[in-house]
Amino acid sequence: MRIPACSSPSFSEKAAPFISEELKPSLAPLLGTIEHLSQQICSFDKEISRLGRQQYPETAQLRQISGVGPVTALEFVLTIGNPKRFVSSRDVGPYLGLTPRRDQSGNTDQQLKISKAGNKHLRSLLVQCAQYLLGRFSPHSNLKRWGLKLASRGGKNGKKRAITAVARKLAVLLHHLWVTGDVYEPLHNATMSSCA
């Protein structure tokens, strides 16, 4: 049995007409559970958005970037705490474990996997944002162009490396926007070159 493509919240409603009579006794309760969970998730999402707006207004500054939602913005603010404790926005990447470790010995200087230090949940959210930013449905931005260029020249693991690099750059950008209060311009470099 195949059902048409649909969003997660509308799955139970769209799937119900396609279930055969023989399967309804066993699958109807499951669809009811899925619908109930979808409603709960929706109410929790609204509560997180409300909490961000009322108690942490700085999250609005971070949500300017397409793909950064209320959960990621709130997690970033709560994990970083005081943004001024970082001398440079570039220090946020290593703090979150998004920089590669190095194996330096004698004449060798080998780049290893990321350190995975810091908050695992925030790192995971930033990676999800990076995956969205590099996807085909995200709007064009300098970050997307940079990540796609990095992925194209990276060999078989190029896409994975590009996602991690975009997540690191996104963390730096989020911190910068938070500290400076700047308005995010997705195509900043393109705007600058067209004005010159």
Q: Look at residue 190 in the predicted model and tell me its pLDDT.
A: 55
Q: What is the pTM of this model?
A: 0.78
pLDDT in tens, the chain (196 residues): 788 888 888 888 888 888 888 988 988 899 999 999 999 999 999 999 999 999 999 999 999 999 999 999 999 999 999 999 999 999 898 888 887 655 556 665 555 556 666 788 999 999 999 999 999 889 999 999 999 998 888 777 888 888 989 999 999 999 999 999 999 998 876 544 444 4
Report which residue type is found at 112: L
Q: What tokens does 139 get? A: 């709007």
pLDDT at 74: 94
Burial class (CB in 10 A: 0-12, 13-18, 19+), 121: exposed
Per-residue pLDDT, 81: 92
Neighbours of 94 (CB within 10 A): 17
Q: How far apart are CA 57 and CA 185, in angstroms?
A: 20
Amino acid residing at 168 = R
Token pair belonging to 45: 């999402």
Q: In the chain, what are the domain boundaries?
A: 7-55, 57-184
Tokens 């790192």, residue located: 123
Please report the pLDDT score of residue 196 as a whole number: 41
Which two three-digit tokens encode residue 92? 């946020």
Distances (CA, A) of 101 to 87, 104, 117: 21, 10, 11
